[in-house]
Copies of this chain bind each other. A is one copy, B any other.
Amino acid sequence: MTASLQHLLAPRSIAIIGASEDFSRISGRPLKFLIDKNYGGAIYPVNPKYPAIAGRPCYPSAAAIPDPVDLAIVVLPAALVVKSLADLATKGIDTAVVFSSGFAEMGGEGARLQAELATAAHALGIRICGPNCLGLINAFDNVMATFSQFADGPTPSGPVGFVTQSGAFGTAIAALARRRDLGLGYFVNTGNESDIGVCEVLHDVISDPRIRVGAGYVEGLKDGERLIEVANRALALGKPLVLTKVGRTESGARAALSHTGSAAGDDKVFSGVTRQFGVVRARNEEHMLDLVEAFSHCGLPQGRGIGIVTQSGGAGVLMADRAEELGLPLPILSAQTTANLRAAIPAFGIAFNPVDITGQFVAEPGLLERSVHLLLADEAIHVGIVWLQLMDAHVEKLLALFSRIKAEASKPFVVCWVAAPAAAIHGLHAMGIPVLRGAEAAIDAVAGLIEYAAARRSWAARTQRTAEQALSLPALSAEGGPLSATEAAGLLASVGVPLVPITLAHSAEEAARIARSFERPAALKLQSPDFRRGAGDDDAIFGLTTDSEVRAAYDELMRSAQARHPGARIAGLAVQPMAPAGLELVIRLQRDSVFGMVVMVGLGGVLFEVLGDAVFRAAPVSAADAADMLNELQGRDLLDGARGSTGVSKAEIASLIANVSRLGSALGSRLLELELNPIIASGATLFAADWRVVLE
């Protein structure tokens, strides 16, 4: 664990500022929990009203505590919180959990009070968790710095570190985790995050060697860098990070705004960036716990092949459906595996993947053992799923069976046990076997294993790569705003973006002469800082085939420009050959409020404009990352030549995305926006036909 949050997450002593002797109250509950759950450190209730609480001396102020204090829990009315900080500082306390509500979640006056709290705490060198939070549990060390009703029940420790921005929803998730026999080593609620945020806590939580999986519930992030930092830390440690982020849609983002006051950000950007840095995103609380279940108790698969053994053909079909929906069609087993399985299972079973061994294995337990063994031995299979149901009467027999299967298993596998008895779940966990609750949930969880394993491999490859050369860019005009098409062309060409040639003409005759040099029809485009390209078609004319057409077009564009904007500054008219037909793409760099410079690729036309088919990443990306982006496009089949076309070079496009993204990070805050639209791809050729670069 880094030093920074040590006092928050593993305090050796705790003061409770505003402690109450009524253990049913928020101000009484932390003391009760700390005592009941045998916290090993020192506990100092602070409240001038009492000489003692629960037989312990109670202090009139933090300053009056005789011994060192690592963490203060502050349970005062909002108006008194800021004032209490001076007392903490006097005592030398550098970390506080503030339960009190009445801050930013109230808006107006509350927001002002929170800003005051943040400023005061910063000046005094006190780190703040909260305000308006439930606090935290470190179950390893029995740190119960919380008033959450979750602590009313058992809080066994385990390999999962769970950090949540929402207190109520976080409590619900923790309760679900407990029902599923998933031990939470840490449960931390960051509340309003006046100082310490969910990413910082996750960073330190996953650094604890007792933690194997990090899980987070997020409503809004202010600083995307922090997320990338914790994601990289998690990759380096080899500990998966699972996040649920709400505010996926417009309605959701609006609701999130009224809830925490922070906009949910562009959800597609969040999805893209988490994927880029190996964070597994869960769509809701159950899905998150399914993933945590799998990561807590299962090794990582070496490939994408899922093999299934069921006692129900139907469950097998449902899993095959779901796997295909997620882009993981079940591999076909080798002829040898199929023959071996056929010999092993009943005649009315199914020896294909998904393998159906039927209920017969209850009478004949060796059947399950043999078939899982045969399935996992197949080269095409990298991870197994064993589906079961009910079997209340056979728990012990099955546990013995799985103990043998686990001992022999050459590859990771999960158990999907619908309506599993609690004893079965606990017994399987003890063997290091995850138990999923349903057929679709099992596939979703295994897909998470596969996705994370791939991300980890690509991360390992990335870190081995030699440092990239710095870009040498042409000097850019100092003033901000849109670059001229030719200046932008120079910039783009410097990073190897293939462009449809562009030449500036200053007379109709010059335009015609340039156009004659093409073998294709020409396009003329007005170049002027006083006209914004794309606003209309008044500043471009396309498809000019003859000299006289080019000349007439030149005159027409100049006349129209003067008419619309007398005295406009006109640099000339750009003359370009028309691009041949092909598949149209869009690549864009834009600034995201959370993640900074992001790169986007979309398929031009109806998919992009109507369905919003586009994929984002934080810039820069490697060509391999960019290839992943292309594979996430809904219309990706078009790249491979759907609709009878010949397909395009995905490698060329990926390399272009990577180059553009490097330009984005090189220009940094100077760049406001860059768009190549359309890029026209056909076979191995690729050209940007139009572009736009806007500086800050």
26 A-B contacts (beta carbon < 8 Å): A106-B348, A149-B390, A149-B391, A149-B392, A152-B392, A166-B313, A168-B313, A170-B314, A172-B389, A172-B418, A175-B418, A176-B419, A251-B324, A252-B320, A253-B317, A255-B317, A255-B352, A258-B350, A259-B316, A259-B356, A283-B440, A284-B439, A605-B606, A606-B607, A606-B638, A611-B635
CB-contacts of A429-443 with B (<8 A): 437-441
- Chain B hits for A320, CB < 8 A: 249, 251-252, 254-255
**Roughly how many angstroms separate A175 CA and B392 CA in the complex, as a whole number?**
10
Pairwise interchain contact A219-B314, C-beta atoms closer than 8 A: yes
**Roughly how many angstroms separate A533 CA and B346 CA in the complex, as a whole number?**
51
Per-position contact with B for A313-331: 1 when CB-CB < 8 Å, else 0? 1111110111111000110
Q: What's the number of copies of this chain in the assembled complex? A: 2
Pairwise interchain contact B356-A314, C-beta atoms closer than 8 A: no
Pairwise interchain contact A169-B252, C-beta atoms closer than 8 A: no
**Roughly how many angstroms separate A637 CA and B170 CA in the complex, as a whole number?**
37
Pairwise interchain contact A315-B172, C-beta atoms closer than 8 A: yes
- Smallest CB-CB A-B distances: 10 pairs: A259-B313, A168-B312, A166-B314, A252-B321, A172-B389, A172-B418, A175-B419, A169-B314, A249-B324, A246-B317
Does A224 lie at the interface of the complex (its beta carbon under 8 Å from any beta carbon of B)?
no
Pairwise interchain contact A248-B321, C-beta atoms closer than 8 A: yes
**Roughly how many angstroms separate A391 CA and B149 CA in the complex, as a whole number?**
7
Known: A252-B321, A255-B330, A611-B634. 7 other contacts (CB 8 A): A168-B311, A172-B389, A175-B390, A249-B320, A251-B330, A264-B317, A286-B437
CB of A364, distance to nearest CB on chain B (Å): 14
Binding site for B on A (CB under 8 A): 101-102, 105-106, 110, 132, 149-150, 152-153, 165-173, 175-176, 178-179, 217, 219, 244, 246-256, 258-260, 264, 283-286, 310-318, 320-325, 329-330, 347-348, 350, 352, 354, 356, 358-359, 389-393, 418-419, 437-441, 605-607, 609-611, 634-635, 637-638, 642-643
Pairwise interchain contact A418-B610, C-beta atoms closer than 8 A: no
- Chain B hits for A642, CB < 8 A: 609-610
With a 10 A CB-CB cut-off, give which of A167, A169, A179, A359 has the most chain B CB atoms: A169
- Chain B hits for A315, CB < 8 A: 166, 168-169, 172
Choice from B260, B311, B440, B610 contacting A635 with Cβ under 8 Å:
B610
**Roughly how many angstroms separate A359 CA and B168 CA in the complex, as a whole number?**
7
Knowing A324-B251, A642-B610, A643-B610, say if A393 contacts B149 (CB, 8 Å). Answer: yes
Nearest residue (CB) in B for A439 is B284
**Roughly how many angstroms separate A317 CA and B245 CA in the complex, as a whole number?**
10
Nearest residue (CB) in B for A244 is B318
- Chain B hits for A605, CB < 8 A: 606
Pairwise interchain contact A176-B285, C-beta atoms closer than 8 A: no
- Chain B hits for A170, CB < 8 A: 314
**Roughly how many angstroms separate A304 CA and B269 CA in the complex, as a whole number?**
31
Pairwise interchain contact A325-B248, C-beta atoms closer than 8 A: yes
- Chain B hits for A316, CB < 8 A: 255, 259
- Chain B hits for A149, CB < 8 A: 390-393
- Chain B hits for A251, CB < 8 A: 320-321, 323-324, 329-330
Nearest residue (CB) in B for A264 is B317
Pairwise interchain contact A314-B246, C-beta atoms closer than 8 A: yes
Pairwise interchain contact A439-B285, C-beta atoms closer than 8 A: yes
- Chain B hits for A325, CB < 8 A: 248-249
Pairwise interchain contact B634-A318, C-beta atoms closer than 8 A: no
- Chain B hits for A284, CB < 8 A: 318, 322, 438-440
- Chain B hits for A441, CB < 8 A: 286
Pairwise interchain contact A219-B172, C-beta atoms closer than 8 A: no
Pairwise interchain contact A172-B419, C-beta atoms closer than 8 A: yes
**Roughly how many angstroms separate A105 CA and B358 CA in the complex, as a whole number?**
11
- Chain B hits for A132, CB < 8 A: 348
CB of A420, distance to nearest CB on chain B (Å): 10
With a 10 A CB-CB cut-off, give which of A247, A252, A256, A439 has the most chain B CB atoms: A252
CB of A541, distance to nearest CB on chain B (Å): 19
- Chain B hits for A152, CB < 8 A: 392-393
**Roughly how many angstroms separate A170 CA and B153 CA in the complex, as a whole number?**
34
With a 10 A CB-CB cut-off, give which of A110, A329, A389, A441 has the most chain B CB atoms: A389
CB of A597, distance to nearest CB on chain B (Å): 27
- Chain B hits for A150, CB < 8 A: 390
CB of A162, distance to nearest CB on chain B (Å): 14
Pairwise interchain contact A258-B438, C-beta atoms closer than 8 A: no
Pairwise interchain contact B101-A286, C-beta atoms closer than 8 A: no
- Chain B hits for A258, CB < 8 A: 313, 350, 352
- Chain B hits for A359, CB < 8 A: 167-168
Nearest residue (CB) in B for A108 is B347
Knowing A348-B105, A350-B258, A606-B607, say if A171 contacts B313 (CB, 8 Å). Answer: no
Pairwise interchain contact A313-B643, C-beta atoms closer than 8 A: no
